[in-house]
């Protein structure tokens, strides 16, 4: 017999179920109790309810509708074997059939496969057709029957080639029936009276399903002749409302009458009309197809047992199909907090505002628990990354994430496949290596990965596995910059410490013995990529693809039995479809298949776990909660649209039972409204984060607001011209530290974030002047002063202080090279490149040796661009080298040891750049302040070591500086050491490059700009362009006039200008 249980509350239906089992008992404890459900969420709530009722609950089975009918077929010894017509198999069968378009009926498809990516296009079309044919089997079995007879069914222009494809599918497996045909046979068998007793299940409970294919409903009706079938149906209305006119029908009626139509014209409750089409259609289908033996009704008016809040009155009016709205109790506020609509600027703001509301609810109601709250969104994956960050202080779980989002191993394997056939840029390869699952497999720690990144970039690796791999993708077979060439350098550097080429390989000399393990892991990983590129770039059959992908999954992740790895193996194993597809398939098709399979596989493991639940808004999930929160209901985001392909024959004529995403979403919104027991919270991105322009909510939210305005006296906004005007919709500010949350002017705007409160309080205070970051002084430095420290200090005193005295480095973020060989020399590295070539020229080795080294290291363009660039620069570099030779300084001598005591300081170290004729410094760059001071320091030390009248020369790109050694030089070494000592205790007043600008203009008679103004201009330019982050740190908020004041000018006049004037420079 067929029994119908209806209620507007899920808990009442579950109580019916429990009482039924209690009254009838279980005939055989060893026979499982059968439930037909549509979601795992409903499974859990049924189990929890029955366990709560009976103390223990066991031996039960939850089945999806199609799985249940397979069970019935097995009971009748009519086993369903639709392997060849299952959607997953149909994809590949159709893909193979679409390779042969010789039939005139299929020739119309040929243009679609022309051009690039033809194989991928064919697979995509096969996937769409498989989805359609899967629906045809259950929703249009009579259409397929006519096709098998060679007759058209709907007369659509695309029907001909679809019919031909279906006929080919049937001809391939003539002994197999599709699911629709099998279910029809089962239906006919169930209508017969000769089925022995006890063959079929004695009781079946169908819970939480409000739409199904007519074929399923017919089977249930047939099954009810032999078994007790109980349908537990959630209905928002206690009356029959299947005959309510739709909004389109109302519009036509009003148009015929010459009147405008709207929600207020509805014959029933306007929300039932607007949102309830799916439920109305199912009621009409039940009325047409099923004769119920008994109907049990347990509708409950929420206003009978609780305060008549706005939410309860709305639910009560839906229950009684009562348009016009129930009047509120005396002195009741229209906005009582039972229905909350929130508008925010972004998803993150939606999350933070919701977080504050949840804390407030928990604070105000001690009986409320986290498990009493559910947070839903059209696709919770859009919020999945934000949830742990915002709700870290609340226990929560996230359900309905796809396997790609939830399973890092699957996502990593897809990333691995994305590399194949590409350029293998160092960033994308290294990003794959850094993934946790792969790094763990190769035993690489965070420190190992950082070392490997430095080795990879500094060894010149840019892109391409090898010269051969570059050639295979149609590019020049240059080995420089490839992974193979870079690994050869790294391995040779680990084995041999040599500065020059060894067997055609330039060793990379920065690898210590402890790096062997990490380097070995990198080499093994790259070897796997080379093997995969070789084996997977070719087309294979599906069985071979399954074997290969499983092989590389084991190579990348190991053979452990972790759950996440097992999920990947299960998907890859399903690729071998039992021989229905024999043709070779390209990698791009396999990649698209795996991406779809991972996206379609969703997990509900985080649903109803006794915590705050985050999940997606899925159909037939009518689980009651005290507080229901809906996020992301913006215009265009929800409800989804019905996008039918032009060849979708289901769209030709809509029938009862046809699925519609738009109707599913609308009915899900109605169910969410019914599932809320205390509060319905709705949030949407209603304001632009850039312009603050108001954005509309989803159309279902607009319809709800319109009903609340017309029938329940809700004021949506007091002034339409003010986005922040008081009203029912709460338009939240862009920032969580807005004063609106902390002034108490509107109690609906509040915050539990103490940091935001502190920021808001600070912003409310008057602006204060910014004090310098540094004040005070450090302890005096040790007496011994290394020569290298002295030179480093006078290159940039402020940088020296921050780095060496304070221990702060602001340049740790190394600029990473691009994933391509250089086509020009980096301007920032141009000095070093030129300097290296000049050193090679002066050593007599020629420029070619230096160029070869720089090409290997990735610092010079390859091929023709490199040759043209060298041809342009060769003359200038050679000329610069000739200028150095022209100084006639003789050969270079070994560095001289220095051990000089000056006052209380002892200066020790080595003096370099010493030649037979004196001291020679050269730098392939324009003259800078540090060059002047370095020359002077060399001269001061040469005074102590070389005696008088020895030349001290600096050859620069734009000039030469020269002086001679002398006994009485001013400023002397004691003055320099005094500045050094003071600069190690606090920031020095000597800014070297501005001081050079001051000195250059100090004696300029034609300049109308004072030297100090030029120095300040140079200082400000360096700050504005970010050249000196240490200056910015030390002097943030301080004007140039305050920094370069009297102390600076005094240093320029007494220290830097005399040095500048003491250097003979014809180009000054």
Give domain status of residue 1067, yes or no: no
Q: Using an 8 Å Cβ cutoff, are 374 and 608 in contact?
A: no
**Cβ proximity of 833 and 825 under 8 Å:** yes
Domain harbouring 580, CATH code: 1.10.486.10
> In whole angstroms, what separates CA 971 from the centre of its chain?
60
Considering only 538-547, 832-841, 1022-1031, which range has the smallest mean pLDDT? Answer: 832-841
Task: Give every CB contact of residue 223 below 8 A, 6+ residues apart in sequence.
Answer: 72, 190, 200, 204, 229
> What is the mean predicted confidence (pLDDT) over 905-911?
90
Phi/psi-derived region of residue 460, left when phi > 0, alpha when psi is between -120 and 50, beta in every other case:
left
pLDDT of residue 777: 83
| Bridge partners of residue 955, in order along the sequence | 922, 960
Task: Looking at the structure, tell me whether residues 841 and 800 fall in a common domain.
Answer: no
Is 70 exceeded by the pLDDT of residue 829? no
Best CA proximity match to 994, nearest among 1068, 907, 1056, 1066 = 1056
DSSP 764-785: HSPP-PPPPS--S-PPPPPSEE
**Taking the CA atoms of the chain, what radius of gyration do you get in angstroms?**
40
- pLDDT score for 249: 62
Q: Residue 61 burial by CB count (10 A; 0-12/13-18/19+): exposed, middle or buried?
A: middle
Single out the residue in 573, 603, 633 at which a domain terminates. Answer: 603
State yes or no: pLDDT of 263 exceeds 60.
no
Within-domain flag for 321 = yes
- Domain that residue 685 falls in: 315-326+335-402+606-642+656-763
CB distance 270 to 263 below 8 Å: yes
Q: How far apart (Å, rounded) are the C-alpha atoms in residues 351 and 161?
A: 49
Is residue 403 predicted with pLDDT exceeding 80? Answer: no
The pLDDT of residue 436 is above 70: yes
In the predicted structure, residue 438 carries a pLDDT above the cut 50: yes
pLDDT, average across residues 413-430: 92
95 Rama class: left (phi>0) / alpha (psi -120 to 50) / beta: alpha
d(CA 614, CA 376): 6
DSSP state of 325: -
Whether residue 410 sits in one domain with residue 384 = no
Q: Residue ranges of the alpha helices (H) in 85-213? A: 87-97, 118-139, 141-148, 159-172, 179-190
CA-CA-CA-CA torsion sign (936, 942, 947, 949): negative
First to last CA, the chain: 109
d(CA 684, CA 510): 55
Same-domain check for residues 477 and 557: yes
Is a pLDDT exceeding 80 seen at residue 90? yes
Interstrand relation of 612-616 and 228-234 (parallel, antiparallel or unpaired): unpaired
What is residue 812's predicted lDDT score, i.e. its pLDDT? 58
CA distance 957 to 254: 88
Residues 109 and 206 in one domain: no
| pLDDT of res. 267 | 66
Among 839, 855, 884, identify where a domain stops: 884
Residue 34: its H or E element:
strand 33-36
> Which of residues 768 and 320 earns the better pLDDT score?
320
Same domain? For 572 and 638 the reply is: no
Residue 37 lies in a domain: yes
Q: Is 74 found in the same domain as 40?
A: yes
Within a domain: 538: yes
417 and 563 inside one domain? yes
Residue 971: asked if its preceding bond is cis (omega within 30°), the reply is: yes
Better-scored residue on pLDDT, 712 or 813: 712
Q: Is residue 489 part of a domain?
A: yes
φ, ψ of residue 711 in degrees (nearest 5):
-105, -15
Instruction: Select from 234, 262, 284 the last residue of a domain.
Output: 234
Shared domain for 530 and 391, answered yes or no, is no
Distance in angstroms (rounded) separating the CA atoms of residues 715 and 701: 15
Query: How far is residue 73's CA from residue 888's CA, in Å, rounded to a whole number?
Result: 103
Which stretch of DSSP H or E encloses residue 920?
strand 918-923
pLDDT above 90 covers what percent of the chain?
Answer: 41
The CA distance from 102 to 99, in Å, is 9
C-alpha distances out from residue 951 to 225, 515, 910, 927, 942, Å: 116, 47, 19, 19, 9
Both 667 and 799 in one domain: the answer is: no
Please list the residues that pair with 771 across neighbouring strands.
Answer: none
Helix (H) or strand (E) holding 401: strand 401-402
| Phi and psi angles of residue 34, each rounded to the nearest 5 degrees, phi first | -105, 135
Is 980 a domain residue? yes
Question: Which tokens is 497 given?
Answer: 């410490």
| Chain segment 665-680, per-residue pLDDT in tens | 999 999 999 999 999 9
pLDDT at residue number 255: 61
pLDDT value at residue 261: 47
- Does residue 483 sit in the same domain as residue 630? no
Measure the CA–CA gap between 25 and 600, rounded to whole angstroms: 39
Q: How far apart, in whole angstroms, are the C-alpha atoms of residue 818 and residue 531?
A: 25
Could you give the CA distance from residue 408 to residue 435 in angstroms, rounded to a whole number?
8
- pLDDT at site 80: 66
Q: What is the distance between the alpha carbons of residues 321 and 636, in angstroms, rounded to a whole number? A: 29
For residue 606, pLDDT beyond 60: no
Among 690, 699, 694, CA closest to 637: 699
Calculate mean pLDDT across residues 317-336. Answer: 77
Higher-pLDDT residue of 233, 872: 233
Confidence label for 251 from pLDDT (cuts 50, 70 and 90):
low
The helices-and-strands tally (H runs, E runs) of the chain is 42, 22
Same domain, residue pair 396 and 435: no
CATH code: domain of residue 110: 1.10.10.160
| Integer Cα distance of 54 and 136 in angstroms | 43
pLDDT confidence band for 878 (50 / 70 / 90):
confident
Which stretch of DSSP H or E encloses residue 219? Answer: helix 214-223
Share of the chain above pLDDT 70, in %: 91
Q: What pLDDT sits at residue 86?
A: 86
Going by the DSSP 8-state scheme, the letter that residue 1054 receives in this structure is I
Looking at residue 718, its pLDDT comes to 52
Selected residue with higher pLDDT from 100 and 604: 100
Backbone phi, psi, residue 217, to 5°: -65, -35
In this predicted structure, which of 257-261, 443-447, 903-907, 969-973 has the lowest mean pLDDT? 257-261
CB count within 10 Å of CB 867 equals: 12
The whole-chain average pLDDT of the chain stands at: 86
Q: Which residues of 506-545 are buried (b: 16+ CB within 10 A; e: fewer)?
A: bbbeebeeebeebbebbeebbeebbebbeebeebbebebb
How far is residue 440 from each of residues 409, 447, 559, measured CA to CA in Å?
Answer: 12, 13, 13
Q: Are the C-beta atoms of residues 613 and 396 closer than 8 Å to each other? A: yes
Q: Are residues 566 and 557 in contact, defined by beta-carbon separation less than 8 angstroms?
A: no
Distances (CA, A) of 760 to 352, 474, 743: 16, 60, 10
- Chain centroid offset of residue 637 CA: 19
- Rounded distance between C-alpha atoms, residue 354 and residue 370, angstroms: 13
Residue 18 lies in a domain: yes
1008 or 508: which leads in pLDDT: 508
How far is residue 1062 from each of residues 4, 98, 931, 933, measured CA to CA in Å?
107, 87, 13, 11
**CB-based contact 674:317 (threshold 8 Å):** no
Strand partners, 630: 376, 682
Task: Give the pLDDT mean for 176-201.
Answer: 87
DSSP state of 108: G
3-state secondary structure of 48: helix
More confident residue, 418 or 719: 418
Of the pLDDT bands very low, low, confident and very high (cuts 50, 70, 90), residue 42 is confident
Report the pLDDT averaged over residues 39-44: 83
Give the span between the Cα atoms of 452 and 910, in whole angstroms: 34
Same domain membership, residue 667 and residue 633:
yes
Residues 844-854: tens digit of each pLDDT: 777 777 777 77
Is 777 within a domain? no
Maximum distance among all Cα pairs of the chain, rounded to whole angstroms: 126
Judged against a pLDDT cut of 70, whether residue 306 lies above it is answered with no
Q: In the structure, what pLDDT confidence band is assigned to residue 949 with cuts at 50, 70 and 90?
A: confident
- What CATH number did the domain enclosing 875 receive? 1.10.10
- Which pLDDT score, from 0 to 100, does residue 431 have? 94
Strand order, beta sheet including 294-297: 60-63, 33-36, 203-207, 228-234, 2-7, 294-297
* Number of domain units in the chain: 6
Residue 158 predicted with pLDDT over 80: yes
């Amino acid at each position: 017999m067929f029994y119908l249980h209806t209620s507007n509350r899920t808990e009442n239906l579950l109580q019916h179920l429990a009482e039924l089992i209690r009254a009838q008992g279980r005939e055989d404890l060893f026979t499982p109790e059968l439930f037909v459900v549509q979601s795992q969420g409903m499974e859990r709530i049924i189990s929890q309810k029955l366990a709560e009722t009976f103390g223990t609950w066991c031996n039960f089975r939850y089945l999806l509708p199609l799985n249940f009918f397979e069970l019935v077929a097995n009971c009748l010894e009519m086993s369903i074997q639709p392997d060849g017509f299952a959607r997953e198999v149909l994809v590949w069968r159709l893909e193979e059939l679409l390779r042969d378009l010789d039939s005139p009926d299929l020739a119309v498809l040929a243009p679609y496969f022309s051009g690039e990516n033809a194989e991928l296009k064919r697979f995509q079309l096969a996937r769409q057709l498989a989805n359609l044919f899967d629906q045809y089997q259950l929703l249009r079995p009579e259409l397929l029957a006519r096709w098998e007879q060679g007759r058209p069914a709907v007369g659509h222009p695309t029907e001909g080639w679809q019919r031909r494809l279906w006929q080919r599918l049937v001809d391939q497996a003539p002994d197999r029936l599709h699911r629709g045909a099998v279910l029809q046979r089962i239906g006919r068998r169930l209508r017969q009276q000769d089925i022995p007793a006890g063959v079929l299940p004695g009781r079946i409970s169908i819970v939480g399903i409000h739409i199904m294919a007519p074929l399923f409903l017919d089977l249930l009706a047939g099954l009810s002749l032999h078994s007790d079938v109980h349908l537990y149906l959630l209905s928002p209305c206690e009356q029959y409302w299947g005959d309510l006119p739709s909004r389109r029908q109302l519009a036509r009626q009003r148009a015929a009458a010459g009147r405008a139509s709207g929600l207020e014209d509805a014959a029933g409750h306007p929300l039932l009309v607007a949102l309830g089409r799916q439920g109305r259609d199912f009621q009409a289908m039940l009325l047409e197809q099923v004769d119920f033996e008994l109907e049990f009704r347990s509708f409950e008016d929420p206003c009978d047992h609780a305060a008549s809040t706005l939410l309860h009155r709305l639910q009560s009016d839906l229950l009684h199909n009562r348009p016009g709205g129930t009047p509120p109790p005396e002195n009741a506020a229209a906005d009582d907090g039972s229905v909350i609509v929130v508008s925010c600027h972004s998803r993150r703001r939606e999350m933070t505002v919701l977080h504050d509301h949840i804390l407030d609810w928990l604070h105000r109601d001690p009986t409320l628990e986290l498990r009493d709250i559910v947070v839903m969104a059209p696709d919770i994956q859009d919020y999945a990354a934000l949830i742990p960050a915002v709700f870290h202080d609340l226990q929560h779980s996230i359900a309905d994430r796809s396997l790609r989002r939830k399973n890092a191993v699957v996502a990593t394997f897809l990333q691995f496949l994305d590399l194949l056939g590409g350029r293998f840029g160092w960033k994308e390869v290294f990003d794959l290596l850094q993934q946790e699952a792969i790094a763990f497999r190769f035993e690489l720690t965070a420190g190992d990965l950082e070392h490997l990144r430095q080795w990879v970039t500094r060894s010149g690796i840019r892109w391409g596995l090898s010269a051969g791999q570059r050639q295979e993708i149609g590019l020049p077979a240059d080995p420089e910059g490839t992974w193979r060439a870079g690994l050869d350098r790294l391995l040779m550097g680990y084995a041999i410490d040599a500065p020059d080429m060894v067997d055609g390989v330039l060793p990379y000399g920065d690898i210590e013995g402890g790096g062997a393990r990490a380097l070995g892991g990198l080499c093994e990983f790259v070897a796997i990529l080379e093997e995969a590129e070789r084996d997977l770039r070719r087309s294979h059959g599906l069985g071979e693809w399954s074997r290969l992908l499983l092989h590389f999954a084991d190579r990348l992740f190991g053979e452990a039995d972790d759950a996440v790895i097992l999920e990947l193996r299960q998907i890859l194993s399903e690729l071998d479809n039992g021989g229905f597809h024999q043709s070779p398939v390209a990698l791009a098709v396999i990649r698209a298949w795996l991406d779809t399979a991972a996206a379609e596989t969703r997990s509900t493991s985080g649903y109803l776990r006794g915590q705050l639940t985050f999940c997606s808004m899925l159909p037939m999930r009518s689980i009651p909660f005290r507080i229901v929160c809906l996020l992301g209901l913006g215009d265009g985001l929800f409800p989804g649209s019905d996008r039918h392909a032009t060849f979708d024959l289901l769209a030709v004529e809509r029938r009862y039972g046809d699925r519609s995403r738009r109707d599913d979403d609308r009915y899900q919104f109605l169910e969410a409204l019914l599932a809320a027991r205390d509060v319905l919270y709705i949030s949407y991105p209603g304001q632009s984060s850039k312009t603050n322009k108001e954005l509309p909510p989803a159309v279902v939210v607009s319809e709800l607001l319109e009903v609340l305005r017309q029938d329940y006296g809700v004021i949506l906004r007091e002034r339409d011209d003010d986005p922040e005007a008081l009203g029912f919709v709460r338009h939240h500010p862009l920032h969580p530290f807005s004063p609106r949350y902390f002034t108490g002017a509107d109690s609906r705007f509040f915050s539990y974030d103490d940091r935001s409160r502190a920021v808001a309080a600070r912003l409310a205070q008057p602006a204060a002047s910014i004090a310098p970051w540094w004040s005070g002084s450090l302890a005096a430095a040790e007496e011994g002063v290394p020569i290298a420290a002295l030179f480093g200090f006078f290159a940039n005193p402020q940088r020296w202080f921050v780095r060496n005295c304070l221990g702060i480095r602001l340049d740790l973020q190394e600029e990473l090279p691009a994933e391509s060989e250089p086509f020009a020399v980096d301007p920032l590295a141009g000095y070093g490149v030129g300097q290296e070539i000049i050193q090679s020229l002066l050593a007599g080795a020629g420029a070619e040796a230096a160029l070869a080294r720089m090409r290997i290291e990735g610092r010079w363009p390859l091929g023709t661009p490199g040759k043209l660039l060298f041809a342009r620069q060769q003359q200038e570099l050679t000329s610069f080298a000739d200028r150095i030779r022209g100084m006639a300084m003789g050969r270079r001598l070994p560095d001289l040891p220095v051990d000089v005591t000056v006052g209380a300081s002892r200066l020790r170290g080595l003096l370099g750049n010493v030649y037979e004729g004196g001291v020679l410094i050269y730098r392939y760059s324009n003259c800078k302040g540090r060059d002047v001071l370095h020359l002077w320091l060399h001269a001061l030390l040469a005074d102590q070591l070389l005696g008088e009248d020895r030349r001290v020369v600096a050859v620069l790109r734009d000039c030469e500086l020269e002086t001679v050694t002398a006994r009485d030089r001013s400023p002397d070494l004691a003055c320099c050491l005094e500045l050094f000592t003071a600069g190690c205790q606090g920031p020095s007043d000597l800014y070297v490059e501005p001081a050079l600008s001051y000195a250059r203009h100090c004696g300029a008679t034609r300049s109308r700009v004072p030297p100090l103004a030029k120095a300040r201009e140079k200082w400000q330019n360096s700050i504005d362009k970010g050249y000196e982050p240490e200056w910015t740190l030390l002097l943030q908020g301080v004007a140039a006039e305050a920094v370069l004041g009297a102390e600076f000018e005094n240093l320029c006049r007494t220290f830097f200008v005399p040095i500048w004037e003491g250097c003979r420079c014809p180009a000054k």
